[in-house]
Structure 1
């Protein structure tokens, strides 16, 4: 039985469609990840929940991690102020990051130096089960396009990039990774992203330190 409240179920459905399911569900997606709102709202999974534009705006605004970007464009593709709402305006929505859809090319800010990251920090949060594998092989992007890193621990002024339930915190030596040719980017909601190496891994040799959620150092992964 799904115990999530209705608004959470809607948010999860939107997130899944925009990050992973659009192509398989017949939603036309632009190269930059945007989908027409009218098409999204017409999808059976959302139509059944009676979601309309105003309700969608509420979902986007209420999302504490700012996962979605909702824009209004003219039919010629010019971005419009949302309050303008001309008769020929088209609403579009995208997920800011987290895609497994390979054709999506997000507009990301390249990280050339650690100083390009506002906090100077890149940390990945995970659980103890996943850590067993990570401690041996490093971080994997798995089926996603990027590995996600936060600019600090969850709840410490961090908007997005880490689950608040994370029990293991892996701090990345970004400068060392950059020097080795690993590329990093910043999403427009502040998440640090990397594809890792050519196999999709961020080696544990780029881990600066690992601690648990109480700040206790975790060792034994270094060898």
Structure 2
């Protein structure tokens, strides 16, 4: 059927995102150092028994947002991880940002319906381990992931001010900027530089 291979890859990507970001231990699998899980264990899981190792390779290689990474252990066994987006502590090796000027533009994308709450209370990590940001606007050079392509509102963050006040920022392998927020998981709106809609108008 036309489109079936692509559909299969998309379905696998969604299933891997669910498992690796949110459900590894709940589903009886074990994290290895760096947030990796053995591919052989993934393929034994009931949700993945219709997929092959080649399917996993294709999914990782063709994923536009570079959500996943593969590596091989000393015994030659392949492992896979999600680079970011976790709601569970996967111990992914993120790099802490120490110089705010490394990323002159830090943007969070959201939707108009969420803006009133965000404008008042700040950004929340919700059920994830970090608040997600992109190092620029969609389609800017170097922006692979960090916000949904359907985002309607773009909040630019004053990362230097936030870092000076003790907030920690990290960058993932696929260039997503991550912040755990304060003790309640929030980055307050006092660190917002500007907020625009997709037409460039101030919100």
C-alpha displacement of 1:31: 4.3
Question: In 2, distance between residues paired with 1:143 and 1:24?
Answer: 16
Name 1:25's counterpart in structure 2. 27
Q: How many residues align?
A: 197
In the alignment, structure 1 residue 69 sits paired with structure 2 residue 59: no
- State the distance in 2 between where 1:216 and 1:72 align: 47
Q: Is structure 2 residue 124 aligned with structure 1 residue 140?
A: yes
Which residue of 2 is the match for residue 108 of structure 1? 94
The structure with the largest helix share of the pair is 2
Alpha-carbon deviation of 1:5? 2.7
**2-structure distance, mates of 1:128, 1:110:** 30
Aligned with residue 155 of structure 1, among 121, 139, 146? 139
Over the residues paired in the alignment, what is the CA RMSD in angstroms?
A: 1.2
- Structure 2 unaligned spans of 5+: 1-5
| Matching of residues 1-223 of structure 1 within 5 Å | 5-47=7-49, 50-75=50-75, 89-102=76-89, 104-117=90-103, 120-157=104-141, 158-218=143-203
Contact 2:87 2:127 in 1 (8 A): yes
User: TM-score, structure 2 length as denominator?
Assistant: 0.93
Residues 110, 186 of structure 1: 8 Å contact kept: yes
Greater Rg by CA: 1
Map Cα deviations across residues 162-183 of structure 1 (whole Å, 9 max, x no partner).
Answer: 1110000000000110111001
Counterpart Cα distance in 1 of 2:160 and 2:88: 29
- Distance in structure 2 (CA, Å) of the matches to 1:30 and 1:203: 34
**Whole-angstrom distance in 1 between the partners of 2:30 and 2:95:** 25
- Show the counterpart of 1:82: none
Whether the 8 Å CA contact 2:107–2:155 is kept in 1: the answer is: yes
TM-score, normalization by structure 1: 0.85
For residue 86 of structure 1, what is the aligned residue in structure 2? Answer: none
Cα distance in 1 for residues equivalent to 2:52 and 2:8: 14
Q: How far off its partner does 1:141 sit? A: 0.4
Structure 1 gaps, min length 5 = 76-88, 219-223
- Distance, in Å, in 1 between the alignment partners of 2:126 and 2:107 is 17
DSSP 3-state at the match of 2:162: helix
Question: 1:153–1:162: 8 Å Cα contact kept in structure 2?
Answer: no
Deviation at 1:214, TM superposition (A): 0.6
